[in-house]
Amino acid sequence: MSILTDISENLQRGKAKVVKELVQQAIDEGIPVKQILDEGLLDGMNVIGEKFKNNEVFVPEVLVAARAMNMGATLLKPLLAEAGVEATGKVCIGTVKGDLHDIGKNLVKMMMEGKGLEVVDLGTDVDPETYVRTAKEQNCQIICCSALLTTTMGVMGEVVKKAEEEGIRDKVRIMVGGAPVTDAFCQQIGADKYTPDAASAADAAVELCKSLA
Amino acid sequence: MTGKELIFKTLRHEATPRAPWVPFAGVHAGLLTGADATQVLTDEEELVKALLEVNRLYKPDGQPVVFDLQLEAEILGCDLVWAKDCPPSVSTHPLAETMTVPCRCKLPTAEKGRMPMVLSAMRRMKEAVGETTALYGLLCGPFTLASHLRGNDIFMDMFDDEDYVKDLLAFCTDCAKRMSDLYLEAGMDVVAVVDPLVSQISADHFEEFLSEPYTEIFRYLREEKKAFSSFFVCGNATRNIEVMCKTAPDSISVDENVDILEAKKICDQYNAAIGGNIPLTSIMLHGTQQDNMKYVVDLLEQLPEYRNFIVAPGCDMPYAVPVENAIGAAQAVLETESVRHMVENYVSQQEDVDVQLPDYQNLQKPLVEVCTLDSATCAACTYMMGAANAVKEVFGDRIDMVEYKFTEKENIARFKKMGVKSLPSIYVNGVLCFSSIIPSRDELVEEIQKVL
């Protein structure tokens, strides 16, 4: 078994310490950092994402896998910068104003990072101004809004309006998700993409970033 | 047979003449009386007034008294953020930085937090409607309570420190038993353990961490308290239905993410009743009255028999669910056959029935039109009709009054032509004056005097 496969499989089992050791070993063996990232860490997270989409693994498994990925990614980060490897896109994400639920938002963030995207986490209870300001200041291609409550999902429409007012709609795509959100709602408020689960959100974000490139 | 008996028969797994109906009107109850969510969950008078209105309009066979999964968390030290249109959210987790288990001395008592208000409301509801309505006491399930206390780290703890999770869940199980004691002393008939986070873990994790706590809670309720139990879950808990059943609750309740007919087959193997699953957002909140009636009728039509089945919303109803939608759902459960015909007629109704509407601009005297599902069978319609009859007595021959029932084909065409969106409703001279919420005599008199 190659060390990269080993990294991927240990990541899927959430073995953070082992993943960290194996990533260090791979670096020491001179394997290109981009290859360690793609074929080790992101490959493992990709498998977890697919299994999550198919209801084969659940929140706890995703969280420990993501923690293992982050342990390995911390070692790779400075080396990736040195090698001039850039993220595939940049996203700012948050749970909308009035809503403190963050499990779904965190899962999406992890899945997106697992696709090689850079993610700015705005936390919970995020007002429309903060999403739009962050997207402008940090050159995010995507604003990603999460809501668990039927009473807060309306804020997503305000985010779309704010982005229009600030004149960034041609440069920034807006994604929405969360238990009460539907594709029809997404269209109704003029957002760009609804996805029903975290793994699909990450796939969609990658596609949207490509379309903007 | 009272609604309460119907629920009891269902929870004893006996066949029933119709499926019982348990609308989960938590904060939504306040909508009926003009109270917001915070008022309903903190003010005993507002709570009882709202619950009695739910009982009057929605004719529930079973009814929860409070739907707030943060009650215990608040007592145990979590800070809450309150909202006007939904239950409060937990904003701080006292065990987030410390992997400890709280002292049992901190468990809820009748005096702590909002318990005095809640227990008093329960006793008043018992007194007012407890003879005919089965009352549900809802408590926060161990896993969701553990997450309130510990935060999202509880998920990682399941890998990092299984013993800690089990110890914390044992504490939360004791909390559930304490809450059960308090609720049953206050007269609740059914204890519902509500654990939405159960849908976020695998069946293996359920068995590792939750089978024991839940088996103990339901054993305690059944053997030591001689009380009925229910296990509520939200989200896609499909894979966990069987392991939930194995903990031996009298019933489980699921939302629209679960195929309830498939889940019922599993429940039947364990002789557990199942309740659900009118979709909260797409049907109850954003759908029409017709959508709600159709969903319920279609659901009931697919049952082989009325046994081990309760019609209920998927979970706590959003605050702003239109009243007529819940009335429509209620009517579909209570008068399934007649609503089935209404739905069929509505769907098949073309413009071939020619209905002449009155010439509203040139009426001899004010015309009060009461549009109902059927005032003989629908509680809200009966009250709406009662309000109209009361003012007819006041005005006598000075006004005309008529009831149009949705049970008649011609009236379906009439309602379409008039643009009637919800039932029951009152139109005065062709103008909608009251929709779903029953006016007081004075309010209706005032409307009529405007056109006299």
Is domain A90-212 given the CATH code 3.40.50.280 in the classification? yes
DSSP state letters, A93-124: EEEBTT----HHHHHHHHHHHTTT-EEEE--S
Long-range contacts of A209-213 (CB under 8 A, 24+ apart): A209/A88, A209/A89, A209/A90, A209/A117, A209/A141, A209/A142, A210/A89, A212/A89, A212/A141, A212/A171, A212/A173
Residues B267 and B399 in one domain: no
Interface contact flag, A58 B159, Cβ < 8 Å: no
Interface contact flag, B201 A179, Cβ < 8 Å: no
Q: What is the mean pLDDT of residues B438-448?
A: 91
Contact status, residue B60 vs residue B133, Cβ threshold 8 Å: yes
Which of the pair, B343 or B79, is modelled with greater confidence?
B79
Contact status, residue B14 vs residue B307, Cβ threshold 8 Å: yes
Chain A hits for B158, CB-CB cut-off 8 Å, are 60
State how far the alpha carbon of A41 is from the alpha carbons of A3, A16, A61, B325, B385, in Å. Answer: 11, 11, 15, 49, 67
| Contact pairs from chain A to chain B, CB under 8 Å | 57
Q: What is the model's pLDDT at position B437?
A: 84
Instruction: Write out the two tokens for B39.
Output: 């008022």
Q: What is the model's pLDDT at position B346?
A: 76
Residues B297 and B337 in one domain: yes
Q: What is the model's pLDDT at position B286?
A: 86
CATH architecture of A3-82: Orthogonal Bundle (1.10)
Residues B302 and B369 in one domain: no
Q: What is the model's pLDDT at position B145?
A: 98
Residue B233, domain CATH: 3.20.20.210
Q: Is residue B354 part of a domain?
A: no
Residues B267 and B387 in one domain: no
Q: Examine the pLDDT at B108 and tell me if it is beyond 80.
A: yes
pLDDT for B17-33, tens place per residue?
Answer: 999 999 999 999 999 99
Chain B hits for A48, CB-CB cut-off 8 Å, are none
- Our CA-based measurement puts residue A105 at a distance from the nearest CA of chain B, in whole angstroms, of 12
Q: What is the model's pLDDT at position B355?
A: 87
Q: Which of B312, B343, B374 is the last residue of a domain?
A: B343
Mutation choice for B interface testing from A13, A48, A54, A151 by most B CBs within 10 A: A151
Q: Examine the pLDDT at A82 and tell me if it is beyond 90.
A: no
Chain B hits for A101, CB-CB cut-off 8 Å, are 89
Q: What is the mean pLDDT of residues B175-193?
A: 98
Chain B hits for A14, CB-CB cut-off 8 Å, are 159
Residues B169 and B285 in one domain: yes
Question: In this predicted structure, which of B173-177, B379-383, B397-401 has the lowest mean pLDDT?
Answer: B379-383
Q: What is the model's pLDDT at position B408?
A: 84
Domain spans, chain A = 3-82, 90-212
**Distance separating alpha carbons of residues B272 and B287, to the nearest angstrom:** 30
Interface contact flag, B200 A100, Cβ < 8 Å: no
**Distance separating alpha carbons of residues B429 and B298, to the nearest angstrom:** 36
Q: Is residue B353 part of a domain?
A: no
Contact status, residue B154 vs residue B146, Cβ threshold 8 Å: yes
Of B89, B200, B201, the CB nearest to A100: B89
pLDDT for B286-297, tens place per residue?
Answer: 889 999 999 999
Q: Is residue B287 part of a domain?
A: yes
**Distance separating alpha carbons of residues B141 and B268, to the nearest angstrom:** 23
- Our CA-based measurement puts residue A179 at a distance from the nearest CA of chain B, in whole angstroms, of 8
Note whether A123 contacts B: Cβ–Cβ < 8 A. no
Of A59, A98, A182, the CB nearest to B155: A59
pLDDT for B142-172, tens place per residue?
Answer: 999 999 999 989 999 999 999 999 999 999 9
pLDDT for B235-285, tens place per residue?
Answer: 889 999 999 999 999 999 999 889 999 999 999 999 999 999 999 988 999
pLDDT for B348-390, tens place per residue?
Answer: 655 567 888 999 999 999 999 999 998 888 888 988 999 999 9
Q: Examine the pLDDT at A88 and tell me if it is beyond 90.
A: no
B443: containing domain: 360-451
Q: What is the mean pLDDT of residues A169-183?
A: 93
Measured at the CA of B248, the angle between CA B242 and CA B253, to 5 degrees, comes to: 65
Residues B207 and B294 in one domain: yes
Interface contact flag, B320 A151, Cβ < 8 Å: yes
Interface contact flag, A151 B201, Cβ < 8 Å: no
Residue A169's SS3 state is: coil
Q: What is the model's pLDDT at position B303?
A: 93
Q: Is residue B176 part of a domain?
A: yes
Question: In this predicted structure, which of B137-141, B224-228, B354-358 has the lowest mean pLDDT?
Answer: B354-358
Residues B370 and B253 in one domain: no
- State the pairing for strand pair B273-278/B309-313: parallel
Q: What is the mean pLDDT of residues A156-180?
A: 95
Residue B84's SS3 state is: coil
Q: What is the model's pLDDT at position A1?
A: 55
Chain A hits for B280, CB-CB cut-off 8 Å, are 150, 180
Ordered strands of the A118-121 beta sheet: A118-121, A90-95, A142-146, A173-177, A193-194
Of A63, A67, A151, the CB nearest to B86: A151
Residues B7 and B138 in one domain: yes
Q: What is the mean pLDDT of residues A156-174?
A: 96
Q: Is residue B350 part of a domain?
A: no
Q: Is residue B351 part of a domain?
A: no
Residue B385, domain CATH: 3.40.30.10
Note whether B285 contacts A: Cβ–Cβ < 8 A. yes
Q: Is residue B44 part of a domain?
A: yes
pTM of the complete model: 0.89
Share of chain B above pLDDT 70, in %: 99
Residues B188 and B67 in one domain: yes
Residues B47 and B182 in one domain: yes
Residues B58 and B186 in one domain: yes
Q: What is the model's pLDDT at position B416?
A: 86
Of B86, B159, B236, the CB nearest to A149: B86
b/e per residue B74-97 (b: at least 16 CB within 10 A):
bbbebebeebebbbbbbeebbbee
Q: Partners of A126 in the beta sheet?
A: A96
What is the number of domains present in chain B? Answer: 2
Q: Tokens 């009982």 identify what position?
A: B55
Chain B hits for A61, CB-CB cut-off 8 Å, are 202
Residues B221 and B136 in one domain: yes
Q: Examine the pLDDT at B38 and tell me if it is beyond 70.
A: yes
Q: Examine the pLDDT at B115 and tell me if it is beyond 70.
A: yes
pLDDT band at B413 (very low <50, low <70, confident <90, very high): confident
Which of the pair, B416 or B203, is modelled with greater confidence?
B203
Chain B hits for A100, CB-CB cut-off 8 Å, are 81, 89-91
Q: Is residue B328 part of a domain?
A: yes
Q: What is the mean pLDDT of residues A11-28?
A: 96
Share of chain B above pLDDT 90, in %: 85
